[in-house]
Amino acid sequence: MTRIAIPADSFFGSENLPYGSFSTKDNPLPRVGVRVADSVVDLSVALGDDVFAQPTLNPFMAQGRAAWDKTRSRIKELIAEDIPDAAVHAVSDVTLHLPIEVADYVDFYASEHHASNLGRLFRPNAEPLMPNWKHLPVGYHGRSSTVVVTGTDIIRPQGQRKGPNDPAPVFGPSVRLDIEVELGFIVGVGSRMGESISPDEFAEHCFGAVILNDWSARDIQAWEYVPLGPNLGKSFATTISAWVVPLAALEAARVPTPVQDPEPLPYLRGKENWGLDVDLEVHWNGDTISRPPYAPMYWSPAQMLAHTTVNGASTRTGDLFGSGTISGPEKNQRGAFIELTWGGAEPVLVNGEERTFLEDGDEVVITATAPGLAGTRIGFGEVAGRILPSRGGAQ
């Protein structure tokens, strides 16, 4: 039997308890575990429930809020006592897998600072914010098949690009490969066609949150994105963290969103606070180059889900929605290199070297923490990815 020691300053104490999918050398079948300090508790063993002997969280998430709450209580009791050795693994000994089977993936654009910066960069002769931006959370559907777990290498995408002075588009590996620092929110219980989810019903549907890196090839995106939005500039890869932080763990992080003026339409209004006081950090080859804060995000995730369903679109277990790039008001709070370097015109120092976009071999690691209950601080783990050279081949 093992009693897991939880240091007082652990980001993975009893007020966090994020879920993930893991396997071990002895048992290569992915199954559901919960992270406690530097250990992973195998819930298929510890709770003896087949819903955790599945390769993703989806079957558990589909059970709904009452089951989520009950399981969280049982886990708190469990880790206060000795646990059978067979149920406890060191985090360093396990392989982490994509924790969810992704249904639909929708990416939003909820930071006013990011949307304004991108507007200035992509459309220098127009108002930075589109007229719709303060009336609805603008979003688009992304590619579900290329959502990968932290640690997955990212192959530099190829595609068409056309600079303002190029007479015709050229083809090749992207030369403006970027990141977008985001949080991702996961639907546990969906809704049927014709139903809509109000902002105050958010906690009945949303299971939890992850860190999300929406890798972006800015040169491909700039050429392709009118009039139907981003496609190949984004669809090659999206990385999420391995540990899904339950919504219940974010109680102490809940804050009001910034004042929304003009007041949104009634379907986007709620009484509950779903702004989130989450602090993120971006590490480029180990050098911390930005600290984007989630709290100033204009639209809340509850508003994003309400908007997604107000037309009657159904949602499903495993739906993932991204917040959009998290950028604060300060330069060192920007969550994308295109903003940090102002389109490449103002390089940043990475370990003393001037850099603009990602080079082959570069590694980006994004971390996030938030206040937990009882004076604790909780962690999301990390989203990490290293850039591999383009495969070539197609022309």
> Residue 9 CB, nearest distance to its own copies (Å)?
38
> Residue 378 CB, nearest distance to its own copies (Å)?
31
Pairing of strands 206-213, 245-246: antiparallel
Q: Is 224 assigned to a binding site?
A: no
> Residue 226 CB, nearest distance to its own copies (Å)?
5
Structure letter (DSSP) for residue 317:
T
SS3 67: helix
Dihedral pair phi/psi, residue 244, rounded to 5°: -90, 115
> Residue 131 CB, nearest distance to its own copies (Å)?
8
70 or 123: whose CB is closer to its own copies?
123
SS3 138: coil
150 or 308: whose CB is closer to its own copies?
308
Pairing of strands 105-108, 320-322: parallel
Alpha-carbon distance of 189 to 58, in angstroms, equals 9
Q: Is 19 assigned to a binding site?
A: no
User: Which whole-number Å values give the CA distances from 241 to 67, 184, 204, 245, 382, in the listed order?
Assistant: 23, 9, 22, 10, 6
Q: Is 221 assigned to a binding site?
A: yes
Alpha-carbon distance of 372 to 146, in angstroms, equals 31
Give the number of other CB atoms < 10 A from CB of residue 85: 10
Q: Is 238 assigned to a binding site?
A: yes
Gap between the terminal Cα atoms of the chain: 59
Q: Is 225 assigned to a binding site?
A: yes
Which of 324, 265, 296 is CA-nearest to residue 119? 324
SS3 79: helix
**∠ CA 330-323-213, rounded to 5°:** 80
168 or 374: whose CB is closer to its own copies?
168
> Residue 6 CB, nearest distance to its own copies (Å)?
37
Pairing of strands 105-108, 170-173: unpaired
76 contacts 47 by C-beta, under 8 angstroms: no
Q: Is 283 a catalytic residue?
A: no
- The structure tokens listed for 141 are 């559907």
> Residue 70 CB, nearest distance to its own copies (Å)?
28
Pairing of strands 95-97, 19-23: antiparallel
Alpha-carbon distance of 47 to 129, in angstroms, equals 50
> Residue 151 CB, nearest distance to its own copies (Å)?
14
275 or 318: whose CB is closer to its own copies?
318
Q: Which one is catalytic: 113, 114, 205, 307?
A: 114
Q: Is 234 assigned to a binding site?
A: yes
Non-local (6+) Cβ contacts of 272 within 8 A are 199, 200, 202, 203, 254, 302
Q: Is 112 assigned to a binding site?
A: no
154 contacts 385 by C-beta, under 8 angstroms: yes
Q: Is 3 assigned to a binding site?
A: no
SS3 116: helix
24 or 231: whose CB is closer to its own copies?
231
42 or 319: whose CB is closer to its own copies?
319
48 or 312: whose CB is closer to its own copies?
312
Binding residues for substrate: 109, 123, 221, 225, 325
- Enumerate the known binding-site residues for Mg(2+): 214, 234, 238
Output the known binding site for Ca(2+): 107, 180, 182, 214
Annotated binding site: 107, 109, 123, 180, 182, 214, 221, 225, 234, 238, 325
Positions marked catalytic:
114
